[in-house]
Structure 1
Amino acid sequence: MNPGEDLPETKGKLDLLNYDFLHKRNMLFGTPEYVIDKIHELKAELNLQNLQVWSNFPGVKHEDCMKSIKMFTEKVMPHFKDDLNTEVKKVS
């Protein structure tokens, strides 16, 4: 959600949390160019310093997940190479 934005206090308010509502507020997916633009926007507006990427959604085939990760690392991450911390931490 956007800063200061609230869902209306009505029954069924969670029904508003559909794709169109969430995509522009909470989800970062699309073409590499779109994702690059959104990360730049988040950095400028929110001082974004860390980004957690989750590509393994239920129902997504393994090869599609791996293709998404590869595309992100090859086409998006290079645009932020000056921002990368030299320490890489493995999450287990």
Structure 2
Amino acid sequence: MENLYVNNQVFGTPQECIDQMNAIQEMAGPATFNVSFSYAGLPYEDVHKQMKLFAEKCLPVLQAAEPGALAAVPHCLL
């Protein structure tokens, strides 16, 4: 439990993020994820690129999963 927060940070390539989010859900059950793309004063352009990449590569895969799975996220506010 001491590293719960650290161990549940999702980062990496789009596929790594998908795999990590699915693993968290398998361990903890259906989950709601809050995502943040802006850390440590990243320039807006970099934040926007990260958001766009997540929306294009991760969300479609996550939303296409079977009902009740993580991918059943109904929408994403970017």
CA-based RMSD of the aligned residues comes to 2.3
Percent identity over the alignment is 25
Can you give the 5+ residue segments of structure 2 that lack an aligned partner in the other structure?
Answer: 65-71
Question: RCO higher in 1 or 2 (8 Å CA, sep ≥ 6)?
Answer: 2
Tell whether 2:38 aligns with 1:56. Answer: yes
Residue 28 of structure 1 corresponds to which residue in structure 2? 10
Query: How many residues align structurally?
Result: 69
Which ranges in structure 1 are unaligned for 5 or more consecutive residues?
8-21
How far 1:81 moved relative to its partner?
A: 1.3
Structure exhibiting the larger radius of gyration computed from Cα positions: 1
Contact 2:8 2:24 in 1 (8 A): no
Query: Structure 1 stretches (4+) deviating beyond 4 angstroms?
Result: none
The answer on whether the counterparts of 2:62 and 2:73 sit within 8 Å (CA) in structure 1 is yes
Q: After the TM superposition, which residues 36-51 of structure 1 pair with which residues of structure 2 at under 5 Å, given as runs?
A: 36-51=18-33
TM-score by length of 1: 0.64
1:43 Cα deviation from its structure 2 partner: 1.3
Q: Would you say 1:6 and 2:2 are equivalent positions?
A: yes
